[in-house]
Amino acid sequence: MKKLSSIIVATLLIVKLGFAGEGMWIPMLLEQLNEPEMKSMGMRISAEDIYSINKSSLKDAILLFGRGCTAEIISDEGLILTNHHCGYGQIQKHSSLEHDYLTTGFWAMDRSQELPNPGLTVTLLVRMEDVTRQTLEGVTTGMTEKARSEKIRENIGKLEKAATEGTRYNAKVRAFYYGNEFYLFITETFNDVRLVGAPPSNIGKFGGDTDNWMWPRHTGDFSMFRIYVNKNNEPAEYSPDNVPYKPKSHLPISLKGVDKGDFTFVFGYPGSTQEYLPSFAIDMITGVENPPAIRLREKRLNAFDNFMQQSDLVRIQYSDKYAGVANYWKKMIGENRGIRKLDAIEKKQELERQFTAWASADAVRSERYGGLLPRFELLYTRLRPINETETYLIEGGLGIEAVRYAYSYNQLLSKSRDKTTSDEEIGKLVTQLQASARNFFRNYNQSVDRSVFASLMADWIEHQDQSKIPSAIVQGAIVYNNDFEAWADKLYAGSIFTDSTRIKKLLDRYSVKKMKKIEADPMFQLALSVYDHYFSQIQPESQMINAELDSLQRLYMQGLMEFQPDRKFYPDANSTLRVTYGKVDDYYPRDAVHYRYYTTLEGIMEKEDPAIYDYVVEPGLKQLYVKKDYGRYGAKDGTMRIAFTGSNHTTGGNSGSPVLNADGQLVGVNFDRNWEGTMSDLMYDPDQCRNISLDIRYCLFIIDKFAGAGHLVKEMTIID
Ligand code: ARG
Ligand code: GLU
């Protein structure tokens, strides 16, 4: 009787977890797994319209942008759209004091003004294929984990080679469901991608880090690029002779807007989620890893902020670094709160109890899965202190710029020690280091880093036992009697790695005799001690435990699928193309608080504050607002819509992803999640998790009415 009721509870839990909105689905399996549900939610196109290998489909317009974002093709001349924060690096690289495109925005008024971006690539998915059987060929149950991975690696090598032979494509086999399934991805990468347009930061980054991860939001987070190809419409290195790419498909754009309850889907490249971890893992992440990471990042941000307030130069040098550190600092805070509010650990524990009961009810299952959870518990207990120290090493030790920088001389040092190294090889390394020194010092301020060092070291010494801290740091704390300011003064004044002229002197006339200078440098020694601690105290055991956890997780995944045969399981995000679907929806973040699902230009005016950097409103935008001059881009009620929320399950990497309506038309560009929902990387909550999208009408309004770049809108396919 007891068992029956627990199975009923488990089933209820499944229904709850399987609520529409959760899931990042594999495009080629939509027809089989999701189409009925998508249609019942309002979708009017077919799964075949989204992903097909027989005809052109929406997937031919979806791009992996750079290494971590998504972009979409929005004209038959290779015009592409992504977020401002995704194109930020490129916009910054083209900016100088004379042409500060970050501040003023940039708009190419004709093709000749579009700016090349060496190093930037976009990648299209040509097709995907389930290769589980071929990947696991020759893999047997009795195999050791090592033999298994070797066999798999060998099979994957063959598959990838065969898939691309004689083509210009690339191929990659990726593991899904923790290695229970494998898919092959054939892709085409373009490397002549030019900057076409970006709004000023007052629009593209409006609200800055203050509003980041938050709703209500008013950020015009978009930028535009164009793909160029050779005369045969094939990818090519940059050449002035290249021509705009003719895509197989581009997204039509709807000006109809969205209403609450409308079906939407997001098509893009989510980076990473961990939805099937056991409770012990969630407890470790939120209890052991996040708290020191949050605290150490806060210290770093405070130090940055102090100096950024005092100097415009430092503000420019550190704004990108600040945004980078702040982004996951805030994400982790939200994640921890969300996990607690959702009782996620208790929910996982409940599921584990059900699972264990189910497993022990049958001899075969018991043999297979019975030991799983106790083993997880044991391994996570062993992993906790290791991961805690690793967090300090990464967020504390490597949070110091000079530590990371000094360590980049380790190769030069070992090559210099090695008598067989040729002068030519040394010369090459030195040239590389000269280039990286120019890059590093352009955005480096010694006082900022010195202050970061003092506060991170103080924190580390205060919170961890000496035996867990790299010896050079323990020594320093003893020698300076915990006066970290005094230590920092001495260290930064005495190192070559904190000063561009000293580095220049070292590199300009470098000969192997000078390796003594690197060896003896106190910052270099500190860096070595940090890395040595990692390589000797952390890595070996962490690798061993994680390898076993990987195989347990694979078994657990398999077990969960057997335990809940009616539940639709989606694979964790792994930077492969996915479809996630849901509805335009509002939410109730706290008792008595209701958030509407859309924001308007009125909200930008409400937030306006000329004295606060994040809330300065562009004069041109204000004029349009005063005149209510919204052209064809205004909503029926006369407002200018800025952003909207929905229940599409997204994560980092979905930035720039198209948000499409029931007819497969572009209505928005995904750029963030709400703070209350950031735990969705570990557990999704349909009540609290919302993705945040830019309303496409605001984007077009900015391009056309604000920037006067209506020629770009003309090349798009607009549906009024
Ligand atoms: N939170 C968004 C995403 O994870 C936007 C990040 C960029 N913006 C910022 N203010 N740091 O990546
Ligand atoms: N801003 C994130 C990105 O760059 C997307 C928001 C999220 O994490 O959901 O990918």
In sequence order, what DSSP letters do the residues of 29-88 get, joined into one string? GHHHHTHHHHHHTT--S-HHHHS-SSS--GGGGEEEETTTEEEEE-BTT-EEEE-HHHHH
Residue 186: strand pairing partners:
127, 171
With the most atoms of ligand 1 within 8 angstroms of its CB, the residue from 211, 221, 318, 327 to mutate is 327
Q: How far is the CA of 39 from the centre of ligand 1 (A)?
A: 32
255 in contact with ligand 1, CB cutoff 6 A: no
Integer Cα distance of 77 and 354 in angstroms:
55
Q: What is the pLDDT of residue 315?
A: 86
Compute the distance from residue 652 Cα to the ligand 1 centre, in Å: 9
**Is the distance from CB of 238 to CB of 116 less than 8 angstroms?**
yes
With a 6 A CB cut-off, is 449 part of the ligand 2 pocket?
A: no
Q: Which among 202, 140, 154, 145 has a CA at the least distance from the CA of 178?
A: 145
381-416 in b/e form (b: 16+ CB < 10 A) is eebbebbbbbbbbbbbbbbbbbbbbbbebeebbebb
Ligand 2 pocket member 652 (CB < 6 A): yes
648 lines ligand 2 (CB under 6 A): no
- Please give the Cα distance from 9 to 3 (Å, whole number): 10
Centre a 10 Å sphere on the Cβ of residue 572 and count the other Cβ atoms it contains. 19
Please identify which of the residues 221, 283, 681, 695 carries the catalytic annotation: 221
| 192 closest CA partner among 127, 114, 269, 75 | 114
Per-residue pLDDT, 701: 98
Q: How far is CA 148 from CA 143, 144, 173, 548, 572, in A?
A: 6, 6, 16, 13, 22
Q: How far is the CA of 655 from the centre of ligand 1 (A)?
A: 9
What pLDDT, on the 0 to 100 scale, is given for residue 671? 98
Q: Ligand 2: which of 274, 654, 675, 676 to mutate, most ligand atoms within 8 Å of CB?
A: 654
DSSP 715: T
Instruction: State if residue 693 touches ligand 2 by the CB under 6 angstroms criterion.
Output: no
Give the residue, by CA position, lying nearest to ligand 1 atom 5. Answer: 672
According to DSSP, the residues that pair with 666 across neighbouring strands are 253, 660
- Going by alpha carbons, the residue nearest to atom 1 of ligand 2 is 672
Report the amino acid identity of residue 226.
R
Could you say which ligand is closest to the alpha carbon of residue 580?
A: 2
Q: Residues with Cβ < 8 Å from 333, sequence gap 6 or more?
A: 294, 675
**Cα(441)–Cα(504) distance, rounded to whole angstroms?**
11
How many whole angstroms separate alpha carbon 493 and alpha carbon 504? 16
- Evaluate: CB of 85 within 6 angstroms of ligand 1: yes
Q: Is 85 one of the catalytic residues?
A: yes
Q: How many angstroms is it from 208 CA to the middle of ligand 1?
A: 9
Exposure b/e, 449-468, CB count within 10 A at least 16 = b? bbbbbbbbbbbbbebbeeeb
User: Which atom belonging to ligand 1 lies closest to the Cα atom of 205?
Assistant: 10
Residues in the chain with pLDDT < 50? 1-4, 6-19
Span from the CA of 371 to the centroid of ligand 2 (angstroms):
37
User: If you measure from the C-alpha of residue 268 to the centroid of ligand 1, how many angstroms do you get, rounded to a whole number?
Assistant: 17
Catalytic residue among 85, 218, 250, 533: 85
Measured distance CA(383)–CA(379) in Å, rounded = 6
Is the C-beta atom of 213 inside 6 A of ligand 1?
yes
* Closest protein CA for atom 7 of ligand 1: 85
d(CA 424, CA 364): 64
Return the ligand 2 atom nearest residue 270 CA.
10
Catalytic residue among 57, 254, 455, 655: 655
Q: What is the pLDDT of residue 357?
A: 98
CA atoms within 13 A on the CB side of 10: 23
The bound ligand whose nearest atom lies closest to the alpha carbon of 68 is 2
Task: Give the SS3 label for residue 610.
Answer: coil
Tokens of 451: 């202050």
CA–centroid distance, residue 651 to ligand 1 (Å): 11
pLDDT at 386: 98
CB of 651 closer than 6 A to ligand 2? yes
Does the N-terminal peptide bond of residue 200 adopt cis geometry, omega within 30 degrees of 0?
Answer: no
What is residue 237's three-state secondary structure?
coil
Among the bound ligands, the one closest to the CA of 672? 2
Q: How far apart are CA 277 and CA 275, in angstroms?
A: 6
Decide if 461 contacts 473 (C-beta within 8 A). yes
Distance 215 CA to ligand 2 centre (A): 14
Cα 667 from Cα 691, distance rounded (Å): 14
Instruction: For 637, list phi and psi in degrees, rounded to 5.
Output: -80, 10
3-state helix, strand, coil in the chain (%, to 5): 55, 15, 30
Q: 690-700: buried (b, 16+ CB within 10 Å) or exposed (e) per residue?
A: bbbbbbbbbbb
| DSSP 8-class letter at 26 | -
Out of 318, 655, 675, mutate this one to test ligand 1's pocket (max ligand atoms within 8 Å of CB): namely: 655
Q: 685: alpha, beta or left, given left = phi > 0 and alpha = psi -120 to 50? A: beta
Atom of ligand 1 nearest to the CA of 326: 11
497-to-180, 437, 450, 502, 523 alpha-carbon distances in Å: 47, 9, 12, 8, 7
Contact (CB, 8 A) for 171 and 163? yes
* Cα(313)–Cα(315) distance, integer angstroms: 5
Q: Using alpha carbons, list the distances in angstroms from residue 366 to 115, 359, 373, 423.
A: 62, 5, 12, 64
User: What CA–CA distance (Å, rounded) separates 54 from 151?
Assistant: 33
Nearest-CA residue for atom 6 of ligand 2: 672
Q: Is 655 in the pocket of ligand 1 (CB under 6 A)?
A: yes
Rounded to 5°, angle at Cα 203 from 197 and 205: 95
Q: Which of 212, 223, 673, 693 has most ligand 2 atoms within 8 Å of CB, for mutation?
A: 673
Q: Where are the alpha helices (DSSP H) in 234-277?
A: none
Give the atom of ligand 2 at the shortest distance from the alpha carbon of 85.
4
Phi and psi at 71, nearest 5°, equal -140, 165
- Nearest ligand to the C-alpha atom of residue 654: 2
CA of 212 to the centre of ligand 1 (A): 6
Q: How far is CA 173 from CA 28, 133, 138, 160, 572, in A?
A: 15, 12, 17, 7, 15
Choose among 506, 538, 518: nearest CA to 408.
518
| Bridge partners for 129 per DSSP | 184
